[in-house]
Structure 1
Amino acid sequence: MQYIDMHCDSLMTLFYEDRERAELFESRYTAVDFRRMKEGNALAQFFAIFVIPRDRYDMHGIQAVSDEEYIRTLYRYFCDNLERHGDVIAIARNAGELRANRDAGKMSAVLTVEDGRTVDGKLENVKRYYDMGVRAMNLTWNAENCFGFPNSRDPEIMERGLTEFGKSAVEYMQELGLLVDVSHLSDGGFYDVAGICRKPFIASHSNARELSPHPRNLTDEMIRVLGEMGGVAGLNFGPEFLNADINCPDSTAALIAEHAAYLRDKGGIQCVAIGTDFDGIEGNLEIADSAGMELLAEALRKRGFTESEVELVFYKNVLRVMEDAMR
């Protein structure tokens, strides 16, 4: 079964662990690499440039660089790996390019940005990222920025929405064909996005809050709205987003399938997709890398998903969103 994964942090992992080689064909540092993607029958992988918080440099004992230098470095990793391994993978900036890559026997790589803080309140920076090939952007990570407010356990913060710039930027992103990603955004921000967007938007790596009470997960009403607007939520494989006890370290294919069934019941089968968060999660992961995706297909079948529904979850829903809102 082919699949599209809407989120991984593998470029960040290369920055921490393999800065000299930065090799993505076969890596002992990352959960996602081209060899295992091919083994798992990947159609496309979204690769995030996650703009790391400043304290991560000390945490990993590495020399701090400016956000711009960091972004340029990860962008170089992305481009260099696609150039080195162009026989197996190529960039996809829209659904047409993905299909062309597939017809040529290649997987696709979609470039994204996680945390829009470096947009710095300037629409020209949104356009600059688009011109680089970025085709989806998480508006926030876990702190307030020029777009708005993040997910939070503080109800007051969670209610706050987009800034005036954030509202203008979301409208502009939709005009450009750059996917608006609400994973990490506050609940208030989610509803602001829903009120602005006329094309589908995504929650690239978020599950159901009713099953797992992490504030990054989606409420029932948010799932319903996302589904009605043609958007998708990517099933996150991280234990803290799957379990009723968010401190439980276990992630199983059955738990992921449980969230898939819940999303389907609340938002319709059209809103369910995959967003593993590989290389941004840890724990006891039954599906630990790109090669293991068939385990999820089997778990979905055991939950009563038909073969056509599994195909929708694995790639067809995301491909539809790319057709509708990415260019």
Structure 2
Amino acid sequence: MKLFDAHCDTIGKIVETGADFIGDAETAAGAGEDGALAYHPGGKGLHVTLPGLRAAGVCAQVFASWAWTERYKGREFETAMTKVEAVRRLCDNHPNDLFFALTGAQIAAACETGDPKAPIAAVASLEGADALMGDIDNVALFYEEGVRLLTIAWHDSPFCGSTYGDGSGLTSLGTQLVEACEDAGILVDLSHASDQAFFDVCRVAKRPFIASHSNCRSLCPSPRNLTDDMIREIAKRGGVVGITLAPGFLSADYYQQTKAISEEFWRSVREDGVTVDEAGKTSAEAEALVPRPPLDLIVQHVRHALKVGGEDVVALGGDLDGVDALPDGFAGVQDYPRVIELLATAGLTEAQIEKICYRNLARVFRETVV
């Protein structure tokens, strides 16, 4: 079974820590048995490696370039550009295994080929619009560099107002951003957006959009997850929801146990002047003590999304290398076949699993990225 994953933070670790992308798939995660990694961009271990991608049968992978203002103030544009260029460089360095995808047709073709040795489509994205430095014209510059997906917010920004659950909605600049992305042929991603911003985008968007790494709020109350109404809106517009492996979005119990850790992270950064990396290290150490949820919880989220939005709305967006821990039984991208086995055991048909694993996301890219 082929796989198309809508979101990983791997390129940040490669750029900032020299993480080994070609290391062994089974050991590169390097986190020890507890599965905890240092906070993104974290330590040198990776969830996503080239051997892991090959072992899992991945046909396309979105590599997110994250340049949050709180961490890169004044360097957001340059940081994001460096990371996007690094995605292209990975492809140049491994031409038999990766190619830098620029059109939806190229991405879809990579997933439709019958050749298991065909190069994997590497898709560059921006996670958060901070890198635009408040200037809509920079959308065109990132498009020229190869960005084909844009997550409009990672945290509060001039575009999205505020993020997660309650909060202000899309700003006038945010409206322009959505329009600019659609005009350029960049797929809009609403993971991280506030509830109000989500529905503001619904009033603006004319093309399908996605939530690249979000789960079902009905099953896990994290405000980063999607309500049933949101899932229905995405489905109605022909988009997809990338079901994620982030434990705090999979498990209600894990979310409740780590909520205070997350709140302390944000408080220490905002009020105590602690750096993002220092706060993240403390957060990762605390989260490592929380028992990881079982991997089979992903099946519950997939089935709920299918029930609410239909089989054309569900995809995968692991958030690998962007989380401090993974579910029990999943150490890295090489373990995606375990998810496929769980879906089959749960009674999903082969056609449904194919849609979830790659066909739905490939379709959206084909329709929006031209």
How many pairs were matched up?
A: 312
Match in the other structure for 1:325: 368
- Return the match for 1:87 from 78, 96, 102: 96
Q: What is aligned with 1:313?
A: 356
Contact residue 84 and residue 147 of structure 2 kept, 8 A: no
Residue of structure 2 in register with 1:191 after alignment: 199
Q: Which position in structure 1 is the counterpart of 2:55?
A: 39
Report what 1:148 is aligned to.
Answer: 160
The match for 1:202 is 210
State how far apart, in whole Å, the 1-side matches of 2:136 and 2:74 are: 24
User: Once the two structures are aligned, what percentage of the paired residues are identical?
Assistant: 31
Structure 1 contact 252–287 (Cα < 8 Å) conserved: no
1:136 matched residue in structure 2 = 149
Residues 164-213 of structure 1: per-residue CA shift (max 9 Å, x gap): 11112201211211011000000111001111112110100000001001
Give the whole-Å Cα distance in 1 for the aligned partners of 2:199 and 2:178. Answer: 12
Q: Who is 2:15 aligned against? A: 15
Runs of 4+ off more than 3 Å? 52-55, 99-104
CA distance in 2, matches of 1:6, 1:91: 15
SS in structure 1 of the partner of residue 242 of structure 2: strand
Looking at structure 1, the residues matched to 57 and 359 of structure 2 have their Cα atoms a distance apart, in angstroms, of 14
* Normalised TM-score (structure 1): 0.90
**Counterpart amino acid of 1:74?**
K
What do residues 249-285 of structure 1 show as CA deviations (whole Å, max 9, x unaligned)? 4243310111000001011111100000000112253
2:338 maps to what in 1? 295
* Rounded Cα–Cα distance in structure 2 between residues aligned with 1:251 and 1:315: 25
Distance 1:266 1:75 in 2: 35
1:1-327 equivalences in 2 (<5 Å): 1-18=1-18, 23-26=20-23, 28=28, 29-55=45-71, 66-101=75-110, 103=113, 105-143=118-156, 145-152=157-164, 155=166, 157=167, 160-245=168-253, 246=255, 247=257, 249-285=291-327, 286-327=329-370
Matches of 2:175 and 2:70 in 1, distance apart?
A: 27
Native 8 Å contact 1:151 1:215 kept in 2: no
The two structures have a TM-score, normalised by structure 2, of 0.80
What secondary structure sits across from 2:312 in the alignment? helix
Contact in 1 for aligned 2:67/2:77 (Cα 8 Å)? no
Gaps of 5+ in 1: 58-63
Q: 2:365 is paired with a residue of what secondary structure?
A: helix
Per-residue CA deviation, residues 26-75 of structure 1 (Å, 9 max, x unaligned), is 373211111110110001000000113534x8xxxxxx982233223323
Gaps of 5+ in 2: 29-44, 258-289
How far apart are the structure 1 equivalents of 2:331 and 2:368?
Answer: 30
- Measured on the aligned residues, the alpha-carbon RMSD in Å equals 1.9
Higher relative contact order (Cα pairs below 8 Å, separated by 6+ residues): 2
